[in-house]
Amino acid sequence: MAKSIEKQVLGKIKRNPRGTLFFVDSFAAIANAKAVNKALERLVKSAELERVATGIYVRTVNDSYIGKVFPGIEEIAVAIAKRDRAKIVPTGSYAIYKLGLSTQVPLNIVFCSDTSARKIKIGQQSITFKKASSKNLSFVGEISMLVIQALRTIGKDKATAEEIKQLKKVLKNENPKHLQHDLQLAPVWVRKLITHND
């Protein structure tokens, strides 16, 4: 019986491309959580699977030069959010990094979310989901959302002329309708900074 659960779990995993993330509840149709957990642990032991974090597994992509390629930290956060049907918004130093204002990948990536607050350890890094108000999750533009979050992190009157120039440059790729919508949600000083013509 245990062997057949393991076979079914592996079968489902192999039907998906390498690099796909799986959770214990990805296999709810096969068996109960306890049996699935055991099957997953056995698959990790036999090197069919890698454990990314507690309850998160992947069949890694194998690169001929660098070997095993694990999913990126944001991919993991997005997969968790998808599983929990949650909305997430990158904040803080991660928003700054994504916009190219910093080359340093933060060790702790923080997302505002409508799911419960928690922290997930992924190797040396961690993902933190912070409970946020619906207003903070109502952004529609991917770029404008990041710019607003980045400026909030940098702080009022703290952004350099170079940073403002870079942010305005990336905002040119945003859908104007999305930008207009998101600016209504931004603090007044952020709105002024973005819309001010030099």
Judge if 123 and 46 occupy the same domain: no
Indicate whether 63 pLDDT > 70: yes
- SS3 of the chain: CHHHHHHHHHHHHHCCCCCCEEEHHHHCCCCCHHHHHHHHHHHHHCCCCEEEECCEEECCEEECCCEEECCCHHHHHHHHHHHCCCCEEECHHHHHHHCCCCCCCCCEEEEEECCCCEEEEECCEEEEEEECCHHHHCCCCHHHHHHHHHHHHHCCCCCCHHHHHHHHHHHCCCCHHHHHHHHHHCCHHHHHHHHCCC
What pLDDT does 196 receive? Answer: 81
Mean pLDDT (whole number) for 91-105 = 91
Mean pLDDT (whole number) for 28-46 = 95
Range of the domain at 168: 87-195
* pTM reported for the whole predicted model: 0.85
What pLDDT does 136 receive? Answer: 85
- CATH label of the domain that carries residue 54: 1.10.10.10
pLDDT band, very low/low/confident/very high, at 83 (cuts 50, 70, 90): very high
Q: Lowest-confidence range among 12-16, 125-129, 132-136?
A: 132-136
Neighbours of 32 (CB within 10 A): 11
Judge if 112 and 156 occupy the same domain: yes
The strand pairing partners of 118, in sequence order, are 129
What pLDDT does 135 receive? Answer: 86
Do the domain assignments include residue 178? yes
Assigned token pair, 176: 């104007």
Judge if 49 and 103 occupy the same domain: no
Q: How many domains does the chain have?
A: 2
Within its chain, how far is the Cα of 141 from the centroid? 16
Mean pLDDT (whole number) for 134-141 = 91
What pLDDT does 116 receive? Answer: 87
* Residue that terminates a domain, selected from 67, 100, 118: 67
Indicate whether 198 pLDDT > 70: no
Judge if 57 and 109 occupy the same domain: no
Do the domain assignments include residue 75? no
Judge if 40 and 92 occupy the same domain: no
The strand pairing partners of 56, in sequence order, are 23, 53
Mean pLDDT of the chain: 93
Judge if 50 and 129 occupy the same domain: no
First to last CA, the chain: 70
Indicate whether 1 pLDDT > 80: no
Give the Cα separation of 71 and 60 in Å (integer). 8
